[in-house]
Structures are given as structure tokens and as C-alpha cells.
Amino acid sequence: MLIKVNAEKVILEYSTVGGLPDSIEYTGTIPDDFEAKFKPSFYMLQNDEIIENSNYVEPTDTPPDDSPTSVQEAINKLGEATAKMANDDNQIKSAINKLGLAVADLQQTKEVK
């Protein structure tokens, strides 16, 4: 059996067939329930024997924090401000256009009289 261990001799992975990069070959006694109970870090090597890791802690299933970071929040605010400025700019251009049309109408009215 090939096993991959870390510096503390905690077993991270194993393989009974094929290869396993960065692994060592283990030829000692394997606990009967090794495959059924195996989880990364659950077992370790001690004095060339596989034993249960007394420091093993079951990983928590906490969901990842999907809330935006402060940088993402700042980028979002900048985007909102940019969109508002573009909208304001369009409103100003529209008002100037209407003002220009009104001036043209006044000029035509003045020429008609």
C-alpha cells in the first residue's frame, strides 16, 4: 500500500493500486477497518504502525462566506456612482438639446413677426 504522509506522519492519502505521487510504501499491518474509516488525517504512522490520530478533529461543514469583501463593496459603490454620473450626464445632454430646440423655435418665431 502507498501512503502519503505529512511532516507529522499524519496519513493524508493512500492507494492500494497504481501510483501515488510523493508517497511511501507501507508494508506493515493495516487496521481491519482502515478503508472503511479512512479520512484524511484520521490515521497516522507511529513507530512504523498505522494508528488512529488522537489529534484528529472532524472538519466542520461551514458554508463558505459569500458576502462581498470590503474591496468588492468599494468597487460596487464606484460602479453605482459611475452609473449615476452617466445617467446625470445623459439628463444634462437631453436638457441642453431641449434648450437648443427651444432657442431655435424662438428664433424662428422672432423672424416670422
Domain ranges of the chain: 2-52, 67-113
Lowest mean pLDDT among 10-24, 25-39, 62-76: 62-76
Query: Does residue 111 surpass a pLDDT of 90?
Result: no
Q: How much is the pLDDT for 37?
A: 94
For residue 55, which amino acid is it? N
Indicate the DSSP class of residue 32.
Answer: T
Query: Does position 82 have pLDDT exceeding 70, yes or no?
Result: yes
3-state secondary structure of 22: coil
- Distance of alpha carbon 51 from alpha carbon 31, whole angstroms: 8
| Least confidently predicted of 43-47, 55-59, 82-86 | 55-59
The set of residues, in sequence order, having a beta carbon less than 8 Å from that of 35 and lying 6+ positions away, is none
In this prediction, residues 10-38 reach a mean pLDDT of 94
